[in-house]
């Protein structure tokens, strides 16, 4: 099970690309509307979340995904549920994936990137406290996966697929959507 946390102002591409590709990989994905059942992206696209935060069962989670976007990332960080989910996933050695501003504003602010290689939106590296910033589309360091921004959403999503269902299946999905590497 993968939970994708959404808050008003989320970056649509960074949320929907992982949702779509993970579902193509037959991974169960549930979206969580942190700011309500209907969540509006940073470019005005409304989305109806599958769940509200009180319905999340982290015991079932293999991964959580935190998209970027403004003010979506700040709205996610303001959520006690999101911060508790990050903490629980880290403490139980399960996957935490964050892209764009989320590695800096959420993971960096929580101190979970200490000594880890990570990437984020260019210019936000200082917020990744203790991380070794990498100017790459996607970086995996143990169970933490970070992505650079909307343009890296396919690399990010395919990495999530690879860790959950294997590289062969991720490659099949990349081919099926005509992703050019």
Segments forming the whole domain that contains residue 35:
2-176
CA distance 70 to 22: 24
Q: Output the pTM of the full model.
A: 0.98
pLDDT (tens place) for every residue of the chain, 181 residues total: 999 999 999 999 999 999 999 999 999 999 999 999 999 999 999 999 999 999 999 999 999 999 999 999 999 999 999 999 999 999 999 999 999 999 999 999 999 999 999 999 999 999 999 999 999 999 999 999 999 999 999 999 999 999 999 999 999 999 999 998 7
Active site residues: 100
Considering the domain boundaries, does residue 162 fall inside one? Answer: yes
Strand 95-99 versus strand 144-147 pairing type: parallel
CA distance 86 to 132: 20
CA distance 133 to 149: 14
Considering the domain boundaries, does residue 181 fall inside one? Answer: no
CA distance 122 to 40: 24
Considering the domain boundaries, does residue 88 fall inside one? Answer: yes
CA distance 66 to 99: 7
Considering the domain boundaries, does residue 151 fall inside one? Answer: yes
Considering the domain boundaries, does residue 85 fall inside one? Answer: yes
Q: What is the pLDDT of residue 46?
A: 98
What does each C-alpha distance from 103 to 22, 32, 58, 120, 172 come to in angstroms?
A: 20, 19, 20, 6, 28
The pair of three-digit structure tokens given for residue 87, joined into one six-digit string: 């903490």
Strand residues in the chain grouped as ranges (E): 2-6, 29-33, 38-40, 46-48, 63-66, 95-99, 117-118, 132-133, 138-141, 144-147
Considering the domain boundaries, does residue 147 fall inside one? Answer: yes
Number of folded domains that form the chain: 1
Q: What is the pLDDT of residue 91?
A: 98
Q: What is the pLDDT of residue 5?
A: 98
CATH code assigned at 116: 3.40.50.880
CA distance 94 to 77: 19
Considering the domain boundaries, does residue 62 fall inside one? Answer: yes
Phi-psi region of 110 (alpha: psi -120 to 50; beta: other; left: phi over 0): alpha
Q: What is the pLDDT of residue 181?
A: 78
Considering the domain boundaries, does residue 87 fall inside one? Answer: yes
């Amino acid at each position: 099970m993968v939970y994708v946390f959404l808050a008003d102002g989320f970056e649509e591409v960074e949320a929907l690309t992982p949702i779509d590709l993970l579902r193509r990989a037959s991974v169960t994905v549930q979206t969580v509307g942190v700011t309500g059942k209907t969540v509006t992206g940073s470019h005005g696209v409304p989305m109806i979340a599958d769940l509200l935060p009180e319905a999340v069962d982290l015991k079932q989670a293999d991964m959580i995904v935190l998209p970027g976007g403004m003010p979506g990332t700040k709205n996610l960080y303001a959520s006690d549920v999101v911060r508790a989910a990050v903490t629980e996933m880290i403490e139980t050695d399960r996957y935490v994936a964050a892209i764009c501003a989320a590695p800096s504003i959420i993971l960096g602010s929580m101190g979970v990137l200490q000594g880890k290689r990570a990437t984020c939106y260019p210019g936000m590296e200082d917020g990744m406290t203790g991380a070794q910033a990498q100017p790459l589309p996607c970086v995996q360091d143990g169970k933490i996966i970070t992505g650079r921004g909307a343009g890296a959403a396919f690399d990010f999503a395919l990495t999530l697929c690879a860790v959950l269902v294997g590289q062969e299946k991720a490659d099949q999905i990349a081919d099926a959507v005509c992703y050019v590497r």
